[in-house]
Structure 1
Amino acid sequence: MDLAAFLLASFLLAMVPGVGTAMLVRQSVRGGRRAALATVAGLESGVAVWAAAAGLGLSVLLVASEVAYQVLRVAGVVVLLWFGVRALFGRHREPDETAGGGFRAGLLVNLANPKLAVFAISFLPQFVPPGASHAALLALAALWVVVDTIWYLLIATLLTRLVGILRKSSLVERISGVALIGLGVRLAVEG
């Protein structure tokens, strides 16, 4: 097992902006540091679920079953569109009301992400020898969650330092809403 290659790949993959980054920006702007940290915890709980499922071989069922994949994909579309529409047209809450919602938002976004499940089962096994135990895959899954968490905590720290500036304009809320809707639409039209 090449641990250095795994760590580098995990870090580079964490850096690719996606649904989690959009949700983290949205929650950070809305709720500050507390909401940002809660969102990171939710996002990483979702990653941990898919990573553990991949480590145990369970997410292979998702890939093997077209129906299961499509159900998860539709759920992902609904979640992304719901958050996006709320960001664009919803009433903007006070910061103290959004901290608890950050965890739920992060968790929902990653649990309803079929790409994360498929990615987990294609990414983790590359770094263990054929026939490796579930323990080796679970160890890599845990390491992947740690690397991803470190990246998102760095982003959360940066965002919370800028949150005063960002809160003055609802532009960031609108941009994150458009991004979430766009990601939802993209997920809907992809096969």
Structure 2
Amino acid sequence: MPTSAEWLVFLGTATLFAIMPGPGVFYVLARSLKGGRSEGIRSVIGNGIGACVHVVAAAFGLSAVLATSATAFTVVKLAGAAYLIYLGVKTLFGKDRHDIDQIRPTASSGGRRSVILQGVVSEVLNPKTALYFLALLPHFVHVDRDPAPLVFTLLGLIAVAMAVVVDVLVAIFAGYVGAKLRGNPRWQVRQRIGTGLTMIGLGGVLALAEQN
């Protein structure tokens, strides 16, 4: 386990990681403005699950492949970018939520699962998250004192939990703002366009990301 001083450094670094605006935060923001607080929370759950996948993969060395193989990094990066761009285009040219709600007032369980699954996939296909855990966590693991995978996983889950708390706050705030503006037909159009372009933009940023 980390020493007392290392815990302070780790928690400080994890806090910066949690509050720093990134693809995950902007994804939750776009989702919350579009579908309200509940959809935003579900996107947070999806992001959190996807981040946990990276933690487990990094703990057992799988993420090292992304750090050492340019081909593997590029494949995952482009797959993630393509998926975000697909979601953005789908949103951009889809119907307004107001129109959908008139036909189907309540969201189905399948729709709820879809939002969570999209969050999982978009986060799993973000190689930068994997490299973040791989670059940060080993500094606080002491193999001579504790099993490395166990400590790695524990620290990673703490970092994910801190990021989830921040994302939930973003979802609540953005959902509140979106609810206030959702009755405005012009806002419906602007919201759909803004959400679609945000996701496409995130896909573009991910596609241009370089392996550090």
Q: TM-score, normalised by structure 1?
A: 0.89
Aligned residue number for residue 198 of structure 2:
179
- Maintained 8 Å contact 1:56/1:138: no
- What do residues 102-152 of structure 1 show as CA deviations (whole Å, max 9, x unaligned)? 212211110111111111211211233466621111110111111111111
Aligned-partner Cα distance in 1 for 2:193–2:92? 5
Q: Mean alpha-carbon deviation: is it higher for 113-122 or for 15-24?
A: 15-24
Larger radius of gyration between Structure 1 and Structure 2: 2
1:160 paired with 2:175, answer yes
Aligned residue number for residue 57 of structure 1:
61
Aligned CA-pair RMSD: 2.0
- What do residues 127-185 of structure 1 show as CA deviations (whole Å, max 9, x unaligned)? 33466621111110111111111111111222222221242313233223222212222
Where do 1:65-80 residues align within 5 Å?
A: 65-80=69-84
Number of equivalences: 191
With over 3 angstroms needed to count, the CA separation of the structure-2 counterparts of 1:112 and 1:161, relative to structure 1, is same
Q: Percent identity?
A: 29
- Tell me the CA shift for residue 186 of structure 1: 2.6
Aligned residue number for residue 10 of structure 1:
14
1:33 paired with 2:37, answer yes
- Maintained 8 Å contact 1:84/1:178: yes
1:122 paired with 2:141, answer no
- Maintained 8 Å contact 2:30/2:198: no
Q: TM-score, normalised by structure 2?
A: 0.81
Letter in 2 for 1:16: M
Moved over 3 A (4+): 93-100, 129-132
- Gaps (5+ residues) in structure 2? none
Where do 1:82-97 residues align within 5 Å?
A: 82-93=86-97, 94=100, 96-97=106-107
